[in-house]
Chains A and B, each alone.
Chain A
């Protein structure tokens, strides 16, 4: 190319460079303005640990309730801090027939959905039926329901085919949300494009799939908006716990949870941040295979229960933010009993039990599976391995994805693991959720990873469950007996009951945690003072 071409080429480069510099300068200037100027809205940023795969309120079954509990409401609210935990929400009162098969709910008046449709008995019927028909996620809770009938605009009747605690079911954090009948047909895609159809205080303003959900106020909310409330709530997906913690400490986010306690060691010195610990209805269970040798021998199971380092786990992994489980029902839940016996680390006892079982020098190996990516489970497994090694038992620990872990456990028990670590929490608040799902005999393996097959146990808890709605005292006693059986049979390692540790900006007020709604913050009740 000749000289004139070269110089015009140079000119072009120069112009492009100038344009870029100018654009960047303008953008930079405005950006700086933005970071310095006053914030006009009151915004809560909740830095959350995972994303929200399914925003359909009928089928959502992972962590979406942290959002849905703010955009939707259910008939009943479960408040464990109250002597009478079943509190009115969209229903104001309820009663049941003597045989427990018919329930009447009286509904709140003056409530509308975000699309303007009024909330009434028709909407209740629509919601429950839609959820049942879809049959996904938590829909199974409505199994006992035969029919839902509209008595009048504000009264709805629920007919059961067998007795069940309907108010508890109606307070569930899954599958119990009231949905507007105005939604399009096949609404699943519509919900997942970022729409909602609830009565709750907030509605979805924008949705960046896999990353962020922004809520805005619903002006027509039935409780009204007097007093101080957040204008917007943002749920941001930050999978890395150190990122979440950094975000709250720097003020980039207002609250977060699920932080490994090791990262919290210096947190006390930061006055901008508050840490609250509340009981979670969640525990870590190590179901022991009762079918595969050598753990099919109850003496062996008891022996290895005495070889587990319970205190080490609480101290070094949790720094005291958890407590050793007493039976399968977590602390704070009805059906939990503090006076049930516990195992403890006692290698002498373990040794004598092993000898009784015919393994005086150990000499066998066991397989333990745990969830990949879970640092706590990994540490627990490694600590346990070290203890069992002292008894000359080789614990082969295998990290597996949740899915693969369950798939293995659901196959042939004689080929499956000896011990499987997993967390459990209830769909709606009842001890039956733990006792049934984890230990009731199953034809097809779902969650009874102990393969525990005890007819006496089955009958006991089934009867208790039917009595729960009408005679709770007796039901609880039966649950207690059932738990004794499990502990004596050492059907599982009952490891720890976890706390929910919430770390939040000290300017946020009235933030409480309700363990019945896992990791959920009801933002309508909280507010933030403006920065000084």
Chain B
């Protein structure tokens, strides 16, 4: 392992834990400051006074705030993330049920973004000021400027409303559900259908994934195209590139073997950022496409004031975010020793 790396990782981990604790505390305080009545949400609006009082004790609301906070922390560590006030079920359990749906779109969206963005960025840089370059620059700008919720509506209007070739919402068609029921193993419908050799469900799941994934991919495509293009342009000017060209190495090898390799690092950073961004972007996409994922769960929790669920999702999202950033930082420090010294 390169020198300094273990120490770097250790420092970042400690930092990450501290940040996580701060986030949990912050959200806890905010969730309790908001005028809300958790007991009422739990027992239902028409409960009697005794039922509410009992719920208050059950939920630990009668204890002082700092006691509730410490109880919450100790429960968290032991894996008890609380009970959803609205559904009376375990928050962590619910999060894990809704998570794969969201991850499926995020993965597919970022895959599309990489498959489209990198080649587009590369060719746009290589053939500067050509039609392809204009297309690349247009994509880059549009991708980061387009309001995703509006784009989703337009796509719905076009592909469902007028052309009738893509479904309006949901993850699977009702017919497929009934005649070729999908046995869920991981919760990723594409994966599960392949694992159970249910090809019809596989095609159906993909068909439903297309529009949400495309919408979620627009921002990453913009970012990645722009970043790849500008990095490639910069790298292509370097002396060693001119040297390689002068020595007669074919253009294709020059581009992909030498230039792209060096341009890839900042692009990876951007990819990591876009992956992290996808979490928030997924909320909007899920609303429009009625996608039963974590975004829908979060929004409902916030609207209903279901604070254990809100806390649970925030912690989960933050862990996700921190882990991604950590991986990014570590891979960057692995590739670029200067980073380890900061």
Q: Quick one: which of B48, B177, B180 contacts A143, CB cutoff 8 A?
A: B48
CB-CB nearest 3 A-B residue pairs: A27-B203, A403-B305, A210-B292
Q: Quick one: which of A189, A243, A403 contacts B36, CB cutoff 8 A?
A: A403
What 1/0 mask marks residues of chain A from 23 to 63 whose CB sits below 8 Å from any chain B CB? 11011101100110001110101000001011010010110
CB-based nearest A residue for B291? A211
Is residue B49 contacting chain A, with contact meaning CB distance below 8 A? Answer: yes
In the complex, which residues of chain B have a beta carbon less than 8 angstroms from the beta carbon of A236? 170, 174
In the complex, which residues of chain A have a beta carbon less than 8 angstroms from the beta carbon of B87? 53-54, 192
Prevailing SS type, chain B contact patch: helix
Most B CB contacts (10 A, CB to CB) among A23, A209, A210, A237 go to A210
In the complex, which residues of chain B have a beta carbon less than 8 angstroms from the beta carbon of A246? 160, 168
Q: In whole angstroms, how far apart are the Cα atoms of A56 and B86 in the complex? A: 12
Q: In whole angstroms, how far apart are the Cα atoms of A31 and B172 in the complex? A: 12
In the complex, which residues of chain B have a beta carbon less than 8 angstroms from the beta carbon of A410? 37, 40
Q: In whole angstroms, how far apart are the Cα atoms of A232 and B179 in the complex? A: 11
Is residue B297 contacting chain A, with contact meaning CB distance below 8 A? Answer: yes
Q: In whole angstroms, how far apart are the Cα atoms of A59 and B202 in the complex? A: 37
**Knowing A34-B180, A238-B169, A240-B290 touch, does A59 contact B88 (C-beta < 8 A)?**
yes
Is residue A234 contacting chain B, with contact meaning CB distance below 8 A? Answer: yes
9 contacts between A and B (CB under 8 A): A51-B292, A192-B88, A240-B169, A246-B168, A401-B302, A401-B305, A403-B41, A407-B37, A410-B37
CB-based nearest A residue for B90? A189
Contact across chains for B88 and A136 when beta carbons are under 8 A apart: yes
Contact across chains for B203 and A140 when beta carbons are under 8 A apart: no
Contact across chains for B178 and A232 when beta carbons are under 8 A apart: yes
Is residue B334 contacting chain A, with contact meaning CB distance below 8 A? Answer: no
Contact across chains for A234 and B88 when beta carbons are under 8 A apart: no
**Knowing A192-B87, A407-B35 touch, does A243 contact B305 (C-beta < 8 A)?**
no
What 1/0 mask marks residues of chain B from 67 to 101 whose CB sits below 8 Å from any chain A CB? 00000000000000000101111100110011000
Q: How far is the CB of A514 from chain B (nearest CB, A)?
A: 21
Is residue A137 contacting chain B, with contact meaning CB distance below 8 A? Answer: yes
In the complex, which residues of chain A have a beta carbon less than 8 angstroms from the beta carbon of B178? 41, 43, 214, 232, 234
Is residue B226 contacting chain A, with contact meaning CB distance below 8 A? Answer: no
Q: In whole angstroms, how far apart are the Cα atoms of A425 and B230 in the complex? A: 61
For chain A residues 174-230, which have a beta carbon within 8 Å of chain B?
188-189, 192, 206, 208-212, 214
**Knowing A140-B47, A192-B89 touch, does A210 contact B296 (C-beta < 8 A)?**
yes
For chain A residues 236-267, which have a beta carbon within 8 Å of chain B?
236-240, 243, 246-247, 252-253
Q: How far is the CB of B303 from chain A (nearest CB, A)?
A: 5
Contact across chains for B176 and A34 when beta carbons are under 8 A apart: yes
Q: How far is the CB of B161 from chain A (nearest CB, A)?
A: 8
Q: How many A-B contacts are there with CB distance less than 8 Å? A: 156
Q: In whole angstroms, how far apart are the Cα atoms of A147 and B140 in the complex? A: 71
Contact across chains for A206 and B180 when beta carbons are under 8 A apart: no
For chain B residues 24-64, which have a beta carbon within 8 Å of chain A?
34-37, 40-51, 54-55
Is residue A138 contacting chain B, with contact meaning CB distance below 8 A? Answer: yes
Q: How far is the CB of A531 from chain B (nearest CB, A)?
A: 13
Contact across chains for B174 and A45 when beta carbons are under 8 A apart: yes
Q: How far is the CB of B173 from chain A (nearest CB, A)?
A: 8
In the complex, which residues of chain A have a beta carbon less than 8 angstroms from the beta carbon of B43? 135-137
Is residue A139 contacting chain B, with contact meaning CB distance below 8 A? Answer: yes
Q: In whole angstroms, how far apart are the Cα atoms of A272 and B303 in the complex? A: 37
In the complex, which residues of chain B have a beta carbon less than 8 angstroms from the beta carbon of A483? none
Q: In whole angstroms, how far apart are the Cα atoms of A447 and B46 in the complex? A: 8
Q: In whole angstroms, how far apart are the Cα atoms of A497 and B119 in the complex? A: 60
Q: In whole angstroms, how far apart are the Cα atoms of A372 and B160 in the complex? A: 27
**Knowing A136-B47, A237-B292 touch, does A31 contact B42 (C-beta < 8 A)?**
no
Contact across chains for B44 and A61 when beta carbons are under 8 A apart: yes
Is residue A12 contacting chain B, with contact meaning CB distance below 8 A? Answer: no
Q: How far is the CB of A27 from chain B (nearest CB, A)?
A: 4
Is residue B335 contacting chain A, with contact meaning CB distance below 8 A? Answer: no
Q: In whole angstroms, how far apart are the Cα atoms of A137 and B48 in the complex? A: 10
Contact across chains for A188 and B98 when beta carbons are under 8 A apart: no
Is residue A408 contacting chain B, with contact meaning CB distance below 8 A? Answer: yes
Is residue B337 contacting chain A, with contact meaning CB distance below 8 A? Answer: no
Contact across chains for A135 and B54 when beta carbons are under 8 A apart: yes
Q: Quick one: which of B46, B98, B181, B200 contacts A206, CB cutoff 8 A?
A: B181
Contact across chains for A407 and B36 when beta carbons are under 8 A apart: yes
Binding site for A on B (CB under 8 A): 34-37, 40-51, 54-55, 84, 86-90, 93-94, 97-98, 160, 168-171, 174-181, 199-200, 202-204, 288, 290, 292, 296-297, 300, 302-305
Q: In whole angstroms, how far apart are the Cα atoms of A143 and B48 in the complex? A: 9
Q: In whole angstroms, how far apart are the Cα atoms of A53 and B203 in the complex? A: 30
**Knowing A34-B176, A136-B42, A232-B178 touch, does A403 contact B303 (C-beta < 8 A)?**
yes
Q: Quick one: which of B46, B177, B199 contacts A427, CB cutoff 8 A?
A: B46
Q: In whole angstroms, how far apart are the Cα atoms of A239 and B291 in the complex? A: 10
Contact across chains for A34 and B296 when beta carbons are under 8 A apart: no
Q: How far is the CB of A501 from chain B (nearest CB, A)?
A: 21
Contact across chains for A31 and B171 when beta carbons are under 8 A apart: no
Contact across chains for A209 and B98 when beta carbons are under 8 A apart: yes
In the complex, which residues of chain A have a beta carbon less than 8 angstroms from the beta carbon of B200? 27, 30-31, 34
Is residue A484 contacting chain B, with contact meaning CB distance below 8 A? Answer: no
Q: How far is the CB of A49 from chain B (nearest CB, A)?
A: 11
Q: How far is the CB of A412 from chain B (nearest CB, A)?
A: 11
Contact across chains for A411 and B177 when beta carbons are under 8 A apart: no
CB-based nearest B residue for A62? B86
Q: In whole angstroms, how far apart are the Cα atoms of A372 and B305 in the complex? A: 13
**Knowing A210-B297, A247-B168 touch, does A372 contact B175 (C-beta < 8 A)?**
no
**Knowing A211-B170, A237-B292 touch, does A24 contact B44 (C-beta < 8 A)?**
no
Q: How far is the CB of A26 from chain B (nearest CB, A)?
A: 6
Is residue A402 contacting chain B, with contact meaning CB distance below 8 A? Answer: yes
Contact across chains for A31 and B203 when beta carbons are under 8 A apart: yes
In the complex, which residues of chain B have a beta carbon less than 8 angstroms from the beta carbon of A447? 45-46
Is residue A437 contacting chain B, with contact meaning CB distance below 8 A? Answer: yes
CB-based nearest A residue for B98? A210
Q: Quick one: which of A54, A373, A404, A437 contacts B86, CB cutoff 8 A?
A: A54
CB-based nearest B residue for A43? B178
Contact across chains for B88 and A56 when beta carbons are under 8 A apart: yes
Q: How far is the CB of A114 from chain B (nearest CB, A)?
A: 20
CB-based nearest B residue for A239? B290
Most A CB contacts (10 A, CB to CB) among B42, B49, B169 go to B169
Q: Quick one: which of B45, B292, B304 contacts A209, CB cutoff 8 A?
A: B292
Q: Quick one: which of A206, A211, A403 contacts B171, CB cutoff 8 A?
A: A211
Q: How far is the CB of B94 from chain A (nearest CB, A)?
A: 7
In the complex, which residues of chain A have a beta carbon less than 8 angstroms from the beta carbon of B86? 53-54, 62
CB-based nearest B residue for A372? B303
In the complex, which residues of chain A have a beta carbon less than 8 angstroms from the beta carbon of B168? 243, 246-247
Q: In whole angstroms, how far apart are the Cα atoms of A406 and B174 in the complex? A: 37
CB-based nearest B residue for A28? B203
Contact across chains for B174 and A234 when beta carbons are under 8 A apart: yes
Q: In whole angstroms, how far apart are the Cα atoms of A54 and B304 in the complex? A: 14
Q: Quick one: which of A59, A208, A234 contacts B44, CB cutoff 8 A?
A: A59
In the complex, which residues of chain A have a beta carbon less than 8 angstroms from the beta carbon of B296? 210
Q: In whole angstroms, how far apart are the Cα atoms of A437 and B45 in the complex? A: 10
Q: Quick one: which of B55, B174, B204 contacts A31, CB cutoff 8 A?
A: B204
What 1/0 mask marks residues of chain A from 371 to 404 whose CB sits below 8 Å from any chain B CB? 0110000000000000000000000000001111
